[in-house]
Amino acid sequence: MTKVILPELGEGIDKAIVSYWYHKEGDKVKEKEDLVELTTDKATFNLPSPCNGVLVNILCPEGQTVHIGEALAEIDENG
């Protein structure tokens, strides 16, 4: 299982809010394809999928705050 982690975003930003999931649990996802949109400090940005697989677990639903280094979702590469 591969965890999707919120990466470093730059000085002074330590968290973001999940604003939009492009996929739902059970969807096949591709490496580098947009997975989720996040909002921080008046910016929106997308996080790509780190690998090919199946999105098995969304750990942070839309509206939830996630901190740098925390996991947003789990992807099963053998799915």
Partner 1 sequence: MDFKVFDLGLIEYNQAFNFQKEIWQGVKENKIPSSIIICEHYPVITLGRNTKKANIFVDPSQLKKNGIEVIKTDRGGDITYHGPGQLVFYPIFNLNNFRRDIAFFLRNLEEVVIRYLYELGIVAERITGLTGVWVGGKKISSIGIAIRKWTTYHGLSLNVYRPCLLNFGLIRPCGMDIEVTSLEDILGRVKRDKIKNGIVRKFGEIFKYQGEKR
Going by the DSSP 8-state scheme, the letter that residue 3 receives in this structure is E
Residues from 15 through 44 that contact partner 1 (CB under 8 A): 17, 19-20, 34, 37, 39-44
Taking the complex as a whole, how short is the minimal distance between the CB of residue 5 and partner 1, in angstroms? 16
Measured CA to CA, the distance from residue 60 to residue 73 in angstroms comes to 7
Tell me which of 5, 9, 51, 71 binds partner 1, using CB under 8 A.
9
Spell out the residues 6+ positions from residue 57 whose beta carbon is closer than 8 angstroms to its own. Answer: 25, 73, 74
Query: Which CB, 39 or 64, lies closer to partner 1?
Result: 39
Residue count at the site for partner 1 (CB under 8 A)? 18
